[in-house]
Amino acid sequence: MGESHTIRIVGAREHNLKDVSLEIPKNTLTVFTGVSGSGKSSLVFDTVAVEAQRQLNATYSWFVRNQLPKYERPHADVIENLSAPVVVDQKPVGGNSRSTVGTMTDIYSVIRALFARHGTPSSGLVSLYSFNDPKGMCPECEGLGKVQRIDPDRVVDRTRSLDEGAILVPWYRVGSPEWQLYATSGRLDPAKTLADYTPEEWHTLLHGSGGPKVKLTTKNSSLDVNYEGLVDRVTRLNLKRDVSTMSEKNREAISAFITEQRCPACDGARLGPAALATRIDGLSIADWCRMEIGDLIGVISRIDDPVAAPIAAAARAALERVAEIGLGYLSLDRATPTLSGGEGQRLKLVRHLGSTLTGMTYLFDEPSTGLHPRDVGRLGDLLRALRDQGNTVLVVEHDPDVIAMADHIVDVGPRAGVHGGEIVFQGSYEELRTADTLTGRGLRAAAQPRTRFREPRGKLAVENATVHNLKNVSVTVPTGVLTVVTGVAGSGKSSLISEAFMSAHPESIYVDQSPIAASSRSTPATYLGVMDPLRKLFAKTNNVAPGLFSANSAGACEDCQGRGAVITEIAYMDPVTAHCETCDGRRFKDEVLAHTVRGKSIADVLEMSAEDAVAFFEEKTLRDKTRALVEVGLGYLTIGQPLSTLSGGERQRIKLAVQLNRSGSVYVLDEPTTGLHMSDVATLVRLLDTLVDQGNTVVVVEHNLDVVKEADWIIDLGPEGGKGGGEIVFTGTPEELLSATGSGSLTGEHLRRYLG
């Protein structure tokens, strides 16, 4: 890989890119801007990152190469002077229940070394502190920190007697041999309602043992067995057993009777007794890991033993990087599957900052997601630190504060989809501010706060919420208006809204960014219910059967089964997708494609953007369904594009699209501006306004000040993250927030600065 000072790209044509040529300066921080769908990801991830990874893989031996996913060469004439890529994205961090903040950042291994060498009593052995090592793990929970228990409250219905079917486990139904163990063994009265049992009877039912054997009879045989309480028996036969030998159906049934609890042996610490007995200044390694990182820094900085000092300093430096990026409210024992996408991405960033590798290309996808304006500055410092270590840093980002920190900006546009795919500007931030592009105009636009507030029609209460860090929070959310919930990351917004509010008002519609449970064949068209009427339209026009136009019918391409792509599953790897050569990605056989409506084949229609489809369809149902995509700002999406290619923000908006045109609903959205350009945010705000004007209640968790200023009502949480947060700092209109100086609201401070 060359020594030249720029990455050179000639003729890039991936997705909507229009034969794009450009040079990206190396060893600088370059930010890619542009409206959603303009082609930023196609350029940065699908062209630069894919080609860099492909070239890197080519340097390995044949044997290693065979184990790696195959990358197809991106559509471009030349891509040169690349360096080894590191993609830091928002994909969930290790879904593994053994992965924690401590293990994924490698900070835990430094701390283990500290305890092994300097704890008392000193144990010498580092693996003793590893909960992923049999020597170190708690024997009770095998290092998971939690255990599964059969929950007595779920296996029986206390309002019934045994004769009335009080036992809820399906294979213990009235009359079965299992049921006889309790109902006909003479130990319990089968007609007595369980709620009336004495403590002794309860014990007999759930945990009893001993006494004479019980005869269980089936139609043609009988069997003498030892008496055993219901919970003990289900635990022994169904929970402690190797689940792989159980049928899918029984495994599913049993999961309804299980609760997960913190392991009583290690109290959730995952470690065995020897490791937990070792202390530094009276605290065990588990105590350290339970603490918020911000507090742990204080504990470590008090270590003054000169021998321990170098390791302590290394641990402290790593912890400070986590705190600097606004994640000081996390603890090292936090399981990574519970982190949000933004939190996970920032932790990955921290891990790379500790690396001494240089000359890499780092690629980030909207690293400001989930960050309060207060913390965006620190994020910029870390990105610059990565650059200063001798790396090239490429960032796709919409946040004006991050854009302002760039050494170089590439603006992709002018608009989305077929109207985008060109480089409309390259240069410095100062130059961009005067450029005639949507980004340049967005940066110049003076923000105005809302002055006309809608009147609430009623209110929905959350009372005494204590989820996670919430400090007994009671608050009311006004109905019939737009409420924005703000606060720094970790202050408790999601805990309050996604958990406390949603469980108090379960009829609310939660529209999040999680993957859509769908098959590899799902597309916006299938998701919105466009396919059925579309097949009928083609069938009627051409006088053939509708089934012919189904992607899993006889009309489908045989080589890709109508997927348009050939998918290869490799153990332990992401599946690899390759273009289907037979149908050239068009999914159907030629004879099917010969049938047209107004000159377009079904493949032509599925390749249209939502916007173009609205213009093409004359049929009302089809037009209305596709128009919903345009209304949520996804007009640029190809209606036949696999849902798996959508970003989190796009998934969230497509979920919203199927919910439109209701009235009297409560919509809850978590950070809907993710992935949105400044000019798209205006579209989103208009959509939220429309929902409210149609008689709905809208509650959004959001940092974007362009949304905050549009709120009818603001609920600000804080003041800080973690245990320093969890309180309501302010409630009221944006105007009141602006004038509430000294309220301690960081959001107020930043809104004031923004509206300047």
In the complex, the residues that contact ligand ADP under the rule CB under 6 A are 15-16, 34, 36-42, 329-330, 334, 338, 412, 416-417, 468-469, 487, 489-495, 636-638, 641, 645, 721-722
CB nearer to ligand ADP: pick between 188 and 296: 296
Which CB, 177 or 341, lies closer to ligand ADP? Answer: 341
CA dihedral angle for residue 268, residue 272, residue 276, residue 278, rounded to 10 degrees:
-160
Q: Cβ of residue 86: shortest distance to Zn ion, in angstroms?
A: 34
Least Å distance, CB 411 to ligand ADP, is 11
Cα–Cα distance measured from residue 445 to residue 437, given in angstroms and rounded to the nearest whole number: 12
Residue number, 38 or 704, with CB nearest to ligand ADP: 38
Check: CB of residue 696 under 8 Å from CB of residue 666: yes
Query: Virtual CA dihedral for 160, 164, 170, 171, nearest 10 degrees?
Result: 130
Phi/psi for 419 (5° steps) reads -90, 5
Q: Identify what 140 binds: Zn ion, ligand ADP, none; CB under 5 to 8 Å per kind.
A: Zn ion
Cβ 254 vs Cβ 239: under 8 Å? yes
> Shortest distance, CB of residue 399 to ligand ADP, whole angstroms?
15
> E strands within 271-316?
279-280, 283-284
Contacts of 560 (CB under 8 A, 6+ apart): 566, 580, 582, 583, 587
Residue 263 interacting partner from Zn ion, ligand ADP, none (CB closer than 5 to 8 Å by kind): Zn ion
Find which of Zn ion, ligand ADP, none residue 39 binds, CB within 5 to 8 Å per kind. Answer: ligand ADP
d(CA 713, CA 715): 7
d(CA 271, CA 265): 9
Question: Which of Zn ion, ligand ADP, none has residue 489 at its interface (CB below 5 to 8 Å by kind)?
Answer: ligand ADP
Nearer to Zn ion, 138 or 296 (CB): 138
Choose from Zn ion, ligand ADP, none: what does 748 bind? Cβ within 5-8 Å by kind: none
Do you know the residue count of the chain? Answer: 756
Q: Which of residues 338 and 503 has its CB atom nearest to ligand ADP in the complex?
A: 338
Minimum distance of ligand ADP from residue 494's CB (angstroms) = 3
The residue with tokens 């690293």 is 367
Distance CA 508, CA 505 (A): 6
Residue 499 C-beta: closest distance to Zn ion, Å: 26
Nearer Cβ to ligand ADP (18/236): 18
Closest distance of CB 220 from ligand ADP, Å:
52
Cα dihedral: 487, 491, 494, 500 (round 10): -110
3-state helix/strand/coil string of 679-748? HHHHHHHHHHHHHHHCCCEEEEECCCHHHHCCCCEEEEEECCCHHHCCEEEEEECHHHHHHCCCCCCHHH
Alpha helices (H) along 448-589: 493-494, 502-504, 524-527, 531-542
> Token pair for residue 567?
């998918």
Nearer to ligand ADP, 238 or 679 (CB): 679
Q: Which does 141 bind (CB under 5 to 8 A by kind): Zn ion, ligand ADP, none?
A: Zn ion
494 binds, options Zn ion, ligand ADP, none, Cβ within 5 to 8 A by partner type: ligand ADP
Q: Nearest approach, Cβ of 265 to Zn ion (angstroms)? A: 4
Of ligand ADP, Zn ion, none, which one does residue 265 interact with (CB within 5 to 8 Å by kind)? Answer: Zn ion
Query: Residue type at 122?
Result: S
Q: Which two tokens stand for residue 131?
A: 């909960």
Task: Specify the amino acid at residue 141.
Answer: C
Q: Which does 342 bind (CB under 5 to 8 A by kind): Zn ion, ligand ADP, none?
A: none
Interacting residue ranges for Zn ion, rule: CB under 5 A: 138, 140-141, 263, 265-266, 557, 559-560, 580, 582-583
Compute the distance between CA of residue 167 and CA of residue 184 in angstroms, rounded to an integer.
14
Query: Please, what is the minimum distance in Å from the beta carbon of residue 337 to ligand ADP?
Result: 9
- Please, which residue, 233 or 321, has the CB nearer to ligand ADP? 321
Q: How many CB atoms lie within 10 A of CB 743?
A: 18
Work out how close the CB of 468 gets to ligand ADP at its nearest, in angstroms, rounded to a whole number.
3
Q: Please report how close the Cβ of residue 680 comes to ligand ADP at its closest, in angstroms.
A: 9
How far is CA 552 from its chain centroid? 30
Nearer to ligand ADP, 172 or 364 (CB): 364
Q: For residues 312 and 729, which CB has a smaller minimum distance to ligand ADP in the complex? A: 729
The partner in contact with residue 266, picked from ligand ADP, Zn ion, none with C-beta cut-offs of 5 to 8 angstroms by kind, is Zn ion
